[in-house]
Chain A
Amino acid sequence: MTPAMGTMRNLRLRALLPVFSLVVILVPIFILQPATFSYFGLGLLLNLAVPIVFATLAQLAVITVNDLDLSIGSFVSLAACIGATLLVRAPWLGVAALIACVLLYAAIGALIEYRSIPSIVVTLGLSFVWTGLAVLLLPSPGGTSPEWLSGLMTFQTPLVAAPIVWSVVIALVGHVLLMRSSAGVRVRAAGGNPRAMSRFGWSMVKSRAILYGVAGVFGVLSGLSLLGLTTSADSNLALRYTLLSIAAVILGGGEFIGGRVSVWGAVLGSITLTVAASFLAFLNISPDWQVGMQGAILIAVLSLRVLLQRSGARK
């Protein structure tokens, strides 16, 4: 086999890894609980997938420029709190607040590039700011979801369960925007070789601001979809999304540096992580152990990827 064919085969294997890990989790579930393999079963199983998919894409946008967003969980909670309070009481104010959040996110991206400060430090600090704002808005769990939002999230799609339809639509839109469009290619280039970009006269500040803005949009969508599902909010609602979203991006074939990301992979990764929780529940593993087991699954998949990379490098 020629080396070129070897790397091609390896690439395809790597691209298939997210699919493979999802199947490995799904098949035992279908065997253990055949009832899940149905419209309603899948709907229940993937009930909470949509907000996680959104949060993952927000994280993906940030990882594209070699940064990490440690505040996405608290930002999603804040968006949900705004949705449960301002958006119900004064819809225009609520919309304005959400737009302000997105703009703030973009401004943070610009600031990180402009002052060249580590994103981890900035976003870690901001996570407390977001949580603080959420507590100010909603001191104790409560609030209500706007009617239209709950209606949208509980909408029954024909034939295929709604979360699956949603995920596919989101992945498709994200894929076209980031992977196929020329603008998307240029922002990915900003992650791949920032020096070359600025040499050719592109503004890195703009690229980072756009990607952080996109992350803000997806963060808001994640918060709203979560609110639509839970119908009430809490300032700590989505804190675990921070690490979950990073894990999902990496599970989906993304890399921390070099702008190598995959939208389809990230969506599959987030679905895998959603389902993994149910899988462990079906196995009667106590909730105390479930987080640890999720970590074990993650380690297994990532080790597999490293093995694939190694065999690729040897050729």
Chain B
Amino acid sequence: MMASIAGSSVSTPGDALIGLADIGKTFGQVKALSGINFAFERGECVGVAGHNGAGKSTLMAILAGVYAPDHGMLSVDGHPVKHYDANAAREAGVRCVFQELSLCANLSIAENMCILHPELKGRAWRRKATALMVEQLDAIFPGHNLKGHELVADLTLTQRQMVEIARGFTVVTSPVKLVILDEPTSSLDAHTAEQLLVFIRAAAGRGTTCILISHMLGEIERVADRVLVMRDGMAAAVLPREALEQDAIVRAMGQHVEVESKSKTTGRLQRNAGDFTWHVGPPTSKRSTISATRGEIVCFAGLAGQGQTEALLAIYRGSTRRGAKERVAFVAGDRADDGVFPLWSISENLVIRWLYGSPNGRRRRLLVDAAGVRGLVQDWRTKIGIRGAATSAGILSLSGGNQQKVLFARALASDADLILMDDPTRGVDIGTKRDIYELVRSEASNGRTFIWYTTENDELAYCDRAYVFRSGRVTRVLYADECNEEALLAASFEEQAA
């Protein structure tokens, strides 16, 4: 269809500012990047697109020298560089504006220049830093109202983003040749985002290469000379200026993997419209309504971090209030941080939610019903297939996938009729995923309701209804028959039409 694999469109390596040759990177078991070939030319603006986990940020971190690639070679001005680290990147003139800002909140705007520029030292460094910073802010965001001595902690998120961007373009002695902008407009308002896009075009015209990563495909369409589309850690396509259309980008991003169409379970319980209804979203704007019926699997989809977890937590808070009629359990996705109790045994981790349950007067009992616990744990161990260690062993002796099964069992063994899942199959192998999907389906047909935040588009095949989130709000509702990857991508990337 479009220009095939990236390597084919690379021009002669001599002209390239930065060349990537067969770059690969793995984190543990996960292959984040493999076989990336690309050359960044002088004075061009390259857009980078791809869905979550496609490897965009990892590739940019390698360019910025944060990670060393496991495989392949970077070259600067045509010369291969052996040890490409942050200092080598700085010398090559590569700057990065990170998505999750890299400012120090305890320092002033001018003082934050120090981190980027080791050359700033000696007498009057502060005056110089302030002047450079304000000059750059003036150039990019005219009318910014910042003076340079403000503490970053006192700035709004938009102002911080402006400072981070402007800092990336400042020059003390080493020149700026390539600036990576990772989601720079995510916290800018329309006006400042516009100023930035104009500036990027102008900078490219002056010979500074810019790399723009954005989920706003319209922005990429406007400023980019070429677009690198990434998918599953590989360069899926490079679209030239002429072929730049949002549709083409979306098509290139999609995984054209046939998700085996699951015949939806037919014997579900009769649905009453809206057994559960919630209102979520930022309180300042129009709130979105989420509804679910008993026995339904509702997915929260969209790009990562668009407010899905917040919505889940809001639902959880609402359901744990005194007097709430539904009983709720939560399956955490971030196992290490808010899932397991690392010092407890497998069985203790499994039964903790069950112990909170109210039936059989368990709550009123003073002591734990040891026999009941044993029975329950054995029951679930065989049911969900926890393999690897005795139930009295520490939870950490299990593999990650099995730990996640324990967390599932914790929620499913409880009396909850509403189960919230926060991207629960993150970093879980495919076999475990299948087990989990089956379990979710069978429990749903028993009348339990699942609300499932997922970043894996394949999982949409299991849901009855999907809410697509964008900036904390639901922008689209997809029903079972339209839940496929293409529709989802289109919904997640479409500009805020509503």
Chain A residues engaging chain B, CB cutoff 8 angstroms = 4, 7, 11, 180, 182-183, 185-186, 188-189, 191-193, 195-197, 199-202, 258-260
Task: Please pick, from B64, B85, B106, the residue contacting A188 in the complex, using a CB distance under 8 A.
Answer: B106
Q: Tell whether B125 is near chain A: CB-to-CB under 8 Å.
A: yes
Return the contact of A258 from the options B103, B105, B116 (Cβ within 8 A): B105
Given contacts A11-B151, A182-B121, A189-B115, A199 and B102 within 8 Å (CB-CB):
yes
Residues of A contacting B111 with CB < 8 Å? 185, 188-189
Check: B295 CB closer than 8 A to any chain A CB. Answer: no
Indicate if B93 sits at the interface (CB-CB under 8 A).
Answer: no
- Chain B residues with CB under 8 A of A180: 126
Asked if A196 and B104 make an inter-chain contact with CB atoms under 8 angstroms apart, the answer reads yes
Closest to A259 in B: B106
Q: Mark B88-123, 1 if CB is under 8 A from A, else 0.
A: 011000001010011111110001101110001110
28 contacts between A and B (CB under 8 A): A4-B154, A182-B114, A182-B120, A182-B121, A183-B121, A185-B107, A188-B106, A188-B107, A189-B104, A189-B106, A189-B107, A189-B111, A189-B114, A192-B106, A193-B102, A196-B103, A199-B64, A199-B86, A199-B96, A200-B115, A200-B116, A201-B86, A202-B115, A258-B105, A258-B106, A259-B104, A260-B106, A260-B153
B87 at the A/B interface (Cβ < 8 Å)? yes
Q: B194-209 toward A: CB 8 Å interface, digit per residue (1/0)? A: 0000000000000000
Shortest beta-carbon contacts, A-B, top 8: A201-B86, A192-B104, A196-B102, A192-B106, A182-B121, A259-B106, A193-B104, A189-B104
Contacting pair A182 B104 (CB below 8 A)? no
Set of chain B residues within 8 Å of A202, measured between Cβ atoms: 115
Residues of B within 8 A of A182 (CB): 114, 120-122, 125-126
Is B66 an interface residue, CB under 8 A from the partner? yes
Query: Which residues on A sit within 8 Å (CB–CB) of B122?
Result: 182
Query: Chain B residues in contact with chain A, CB under 8 A?
Result: 64-66, 85-87, 89-90, 96, 98, 101-107, 111-112, 114-116, 120-122, 125-126, 151, 153-154
Contact assessment for B107 and A192 in the assembled complex, using a CB-CB cutoff below 8 Å: yes
Known: A185-B107, A192-B104. A201 touches B65 (CB 8 A): yes
Residues of A within 8 A of B86 (CB): 199-201
Contact partner of B154 (CB less than 8 A), chosen from A11, A189, A196, is: A11
Residues of A within 8 A of B98 (CB): 196, 199
Residues of chain B contacted by A186 (CB below 8 angstroms): 114-115
Known: A182-B120, A189-B107. A197 touches B115 (CB 8 A): yes
Check A193–B103 contact: CB distance below 8 A: yes
Bound complex: CA A188 to CA B111 (Å): 10
Question: In angstroms, how far is the closest chain A Cβ from the Cβ of B64?
Answer: 7
CB neighbours of B114 from chain A (8 A): 182, 185-186, 189
Residue of A nearest to B101 (CB): A196
**Once bound together, how far apart are the Cα atoms of A146 and B413, in whole Å?**
73
Considering only CB atoms, which chain B residue lies closest to A258 in the complex? B106
- Whole-angstrom distance between the alpha carbons of A258 and B151 in the complex? 13
Q: Which residues of A contact B96 (CB under 8 A)?
A: 199
B102 CB contact (under 8 Å) in A11, A200, A258: A200
Contacts of A193 in B (CB 8 A): 102-105
User: Least Cβ distance of B127 to chain A in Å?
Assistant: 12
Q: Please name 17 further chain A to chain B contacts, defined as beta carbons within 8 Å, in addition to the given A182-B122, A182-B126, A259-B106, sorted by A numbering.
A: A180-B126, A182-B121, A182-B125, A185-B111, A192-B104, A192-B106, A192-B107, A193-B102, A195-B102, A196-B101, A199-B64, A199-B66, A200-B102, A201-B87, A201-B89, A202-B115, A258-B105
With beta carbons under 8 angstroms apart, the residue of B115, B121, B153 that contacts A196 is: B115
- Measured between beta carbons, the chain B residues less than 8 angstroms from A189 are 104, 106-107, 111-112, 114-115
Residue pair B106, A7 in contact (C-beta under 8 Å): no
Across the two chains, which residue of chain A brings its CB closest to B105? A192
Q: Which residues of B contact A7 (CB under 8 A)?
A: 154
Contacts of B154 in A (CB 8 A): 4, 7, 11
A180 to B122, CA, bound (A): 11
A70: min CB distance to chain B, Å: 23
Q: Which residue of B lies closest to A261 (CB)?
A: B106
Least CB distance from B46 to A in Å reads 21
Residues of A within 8 A of B66 (CB): 199
**A50, chain B: closest CB distance, angstroms:** 28
How many angstroms between the C-alpha atoms of A199 and B65 in the bound complex?
Answer: 8
Q: How far is the CA of A87 from the CA of B111 in the complex (A)?
A: 41
User: Which residues on B sit within 8 Å (CB–CB) of A200?
Assistant: 86, 90, 102, 115-116
Q: Which residues of A contact B116 (CB under 8 A)?
A: 200
Contact residues in B for A191 (Cβ distance below 8 Å): 106
Residue of B nearest to A193 (CB): B104
Question: Which of A180, A183, A193, A260 has the most B CB atoms < 10 Å from its CB?
Answer: A193
Chain A residues lying within 8 Å of B125, measured Cβ to Cβ, are 182
Do A188 and B104 touch (CB < 8 A)? yes
In the complex, the chain B residue whose C-beta lies closest to that of A64 is B106
Chain A residues whose C-beta falls within 8 Å of the C-beta of B90 in the assembled complex? 200-201
CA distance A193 to B116 in the complex (A): 13
Shortest CB distance A211–B (Å): 14
B-chain residues with CB within 8 Å of residue A183 when the two chains form the complex: 121
Chain A residues whose CB sits within 8 angstroms of the CB of B126 once the complex forms: 180, 182
* A189→B125 CA distance, assembly (Å): 16
Q: Which residues of B contact A196 (CB under 8 A)?
A: 98, 101-104, 115
- Assembled-state Cα–Cα distance A260/B107 (Å): 8
